[in-house]
Amino acid sequence: MKQTYTVTGMTCAACSAAVEKAVNALPEVESAAVNLLANRLTVVGSEALDEAAVIQAVERAGYGVIRPAAKGNAAAAKTDAKEAVQTEIRTLKTRLIVSSAFLLPLMYLSMGHMMGFPIPSGFHGAGNQVVFGLTQFLLLLPILYINRKFFAVGFRTLWHRSPNMDSLIAIGAAAATVYGIYALYKIGWAVGHGDAATANHFAMDIYFESAGTIFTLITVGKYLEGLSKGRTTDALGKLLDLAPKTAAVIRGGEEAVIPIEEIVVGDIILVRPGEAVPVDGTVIEGSSAVDQAVLTGESVPVEKTVGDPVYIATLNRTGAFKFRADKVGEDTTLAQIVQLVSDANGSKAPIQKLADKIAGIFVPTVIAIALVSLIVWLLLGEPFEFALSIAIAVLVISCPCALGLATPVAIMVGTGQGALNGILIKSADAAEIAHEVRTVVFDKTGTITEGRPTVRQVLPADGVSEDELWRAAVALENSSEHPFAKAILNAAAKRGISGEETGVSDFEALSGFGVKATVRGVAMAGGNARLMAAEKISLPEAVADPVRFAEAGETPLYFGANGRYLGLIACADAIKETSPKAIRSLQAMGIRTVMLTGDNRATAEAIRRQVGIDTVFAEVLPSDKEAKIRELQSETDAKGNRRKVAMVGDGINDAPALARADAGIAIGAGTDIAIESADIVLMKSELTDVVTAIQLSRAMMRTIRQNLFWAFFYNSIGIPLAAGVFFGLFGWKLTPDFAAAAMSLSSVTVVTNALRLRGFRPKWIASAPPAHEDGDESKSLSPAGEPSGAASEKESEMMMKKVLVVDGMMCAHCQGRVESVLSAIKGVKSAAVNLEAKTATVELSEAVGDDVLSAAVSDAGYPVLSIRDA
Query: What pLDDT score was predicted for residue 97?
Result: 93
Cα gap 799→813, rounded to integer Å: 27
C-alpha pair distances (Å), 471 with each of 456, 457, 484, 505, 524: 17, 16, 15, 16, 12
Query: What pLDDT score was predicted for residue 271?
Result: 92
Cα gap 850→478, rounded to integer Å: 45
Q: Which amino acid is at 844?
A: L
Predicted confidence band of residue 12 (pLDDT cuts 50, 70, 90): low
pLDDT of 374 > 70? The answer is: yes
**87-96, 292-301, 376-385, 560-569: the lowest-pLDDT one:** 292-301
CB 92 within 8 A of CB 149: no
Cα gap 703→247, rounded to integer Å: 42
Predicted confidence band of residue 215 (pLDDT cuts 50, 70, 90): confident
What interhelical angle do 129-146 and 74-115 show, nearest 10? 170
Predicted confidence band of residue 281 (pLDDT cuts 50, 70, 90): very high
Query: What pLDDT score was predicted for residue 321?
Result: 92
Q: How far apart are the first and last CA of the chain?
A: 56
Predicted confidence band of residue 142 (pLDDT cuts 50, 70, 90): very high
Query: What pLDDT score was predicted for residue 397?
Result: 76
Cα-based angle 134, 136, 137 (whole degrees, multiple of 5) = 65
Q: What percent of the chain has pLDDT over 70?
A: 79
Please enumerate, as own/partner, the contacts of 107-111 that have beta carbons within 8 Å and a separation of 24 or more. 107/209, 107/212, 107/213, 109/135, 109/136, 109/139, 110/136, 110/206, 110/208, 110/209, 111/209
Secondary structure (DSSP) of 205-253 = T--HHHHHHHHHHHHHHHHHHHHHHHHHTHHHHHHHHTS-SEEEEEETT
Query: What pLDDT score was predicted for residue 427?
Result: 72
Cα-based angle 51, 56, 61 (whole degrees, multiple of 5) = 130
Cα-based angle 789, 607, 617 (whole degrees, multiple of 5) = 155
Cα gap 739→202, rounded to integer Å: 22
pLDDT of 806 > 70? The answer is: yes
Mean pLDDT of 358-371: 77
Among 443, 573, 599, 679, which one carries the catalytic annotation?
A: 443
Q: Which residue has the higher pLDDT, 446 or 294?
A: 446
pLDDT of 70 > 50? The answer is: no
Q: Would residue 443 show up in a list of annotated catalytic residues for this protein?
A: yes
**pLDDT, tens digit (0-9, with 9 covering 90-100), for 485-533:** 888 988 888 888 876 555 788 888 776 688 898 888 889 999 888 889 8
pLDDT of 590 > 90? The answer is: no
**pLDDT, tens digit (0-9, with 9 covering 90-100), for 744-798:** 677 677 778 878 888 888 877 655 444 433 333 333 333 323 333 333 333 333 3
pTM for the whole structure: 0.57
Mean pLDDT of 381-391: 82
Query: What pLDDT score was predicted for residue 743?
Result: 65
Q: What percent of the chain has pLDDT over 90?
A: 9
**pLDDT, tens digit (0-9, with 9 covering 90-100), for 310-319:** 888 888 887 8
**193-197, 325-329, 464-468: the lowest-pLDDT one:** 193-197
Query: What pLDDT score was predicted for residue 92?
Result: 85
Mean pLDDT of 291-311: 72
Cα gap 522→527, rounded to integer Å: 17
Cα gap 790→781, rounded to integer Å: 9
Q: Which residue has the higher pLDDT, 202 or 236?
A: 202
Highest mean pLDDT among 32-41, 65-74, 732-741: 32-41
The mean of the pLDDT values for the chain is 78
pLDDT of 559 > 90? The answer is: yes
Predicted confidence band of residue 294 (pLDDT cuts 50, 70, 90): low
Secondary structure (DSSP) of 824-850 = TSTTEEEEEEETTTTEEEEEESS---H
Cα-based angle 617, 620, 622 (whole degrees, multiple of 5) = 135
Coil, strand, or helix at residue 425?
A: strand
